[in-house]
C-alpha cells in the first residue's frame, strides 16, 4: 500500500479541525459565562464588555490584549458584545423566545 500525500486533503482536514476547535472554544466561553450567572448565549468576552459599560470593570483589557496578540483582533470584546446584542435584538423582534 502506497502512502499518498495530497496537500488539498491535508489542508481541508486542518481547516475543519480549526473550525471544530473554534466552535468548542465558543461553547466553552458561553458555558463559563452561564456558570457565573451571565445571560444565555452570551460569550465571556461580550459579558466583560457589558460589565465595563455598567460598572467600569476593566477585565476586558486582558482578553482584548490576548486576542490582539494571538489573532490580530482589535476590540475583540466590543465586537463580541455588538454581535451578541444584534442577535438578541433580532430574535426578540422576530418573536423567538430564547432569552
Query: What range defines the domain where residue 63 resides?
Result: 7-94
Q: Is residue 2 part of a domain?
A: no
Nearest-CA neighbor of 49 among 22, 85, 1?
85
Residue 1 — very low, low, confident or very high, per pLDDT cuts 50/70/90? low
The whole-number pLDDT of residue 61 equals 96
Q: Give the total number of structural domains in the chain.
A: 1
pLDDT in tens, 42-91: 999 999 999 999 999 999 999 999 999 998 999 999 999 999 999 888 87
Cell of 13: 482536514
Residue 48: half-sphere exposure toward Cβ, Cα within 13 Å: 19
Report pLDDT for 59. Answer: 94
CA dihedral 53, 56, 62, 66 (to 10 degrees): 20
Flag whether 1 is in a domain.
no
With respect to residue 99, please indicate whether it lies within any of the assigned structural domains: no
pLDDT at res. 90: 84
Q: In the predicted model, is pLDDT for residue 12 greater than 70? A: yes
Amino acid at each position: 500500500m502506497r502512502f499518498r500525500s495530497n496537500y488539498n486533503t491535508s489542508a481541508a482536514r486542518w481547516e475543519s479541525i480549526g473550525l471544530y476547535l473554534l466552535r468548542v472554544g465558543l461553547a466553552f466561553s458561553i458555558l463559563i459565562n452561564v456558570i457565573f450567572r451571565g445571560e444565555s448565549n452570551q460569550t465571556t468576552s461580550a459579558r466583560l464588555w457589558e460589565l465595563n459599560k455598567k460598572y467600569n470593570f476593566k477585565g476586558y483589557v486582558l482578553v482584548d490584549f490576548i486576542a490582539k496578540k494571538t489573532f490580530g483582533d482589535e476590540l475583540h470584546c466590543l465586537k463580541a458584545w455588538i454581535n451578541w446584542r444584534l442577535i438578541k435584538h433580532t430574535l426578540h423582534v422576530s418573536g423567538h423566545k430564547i432569552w
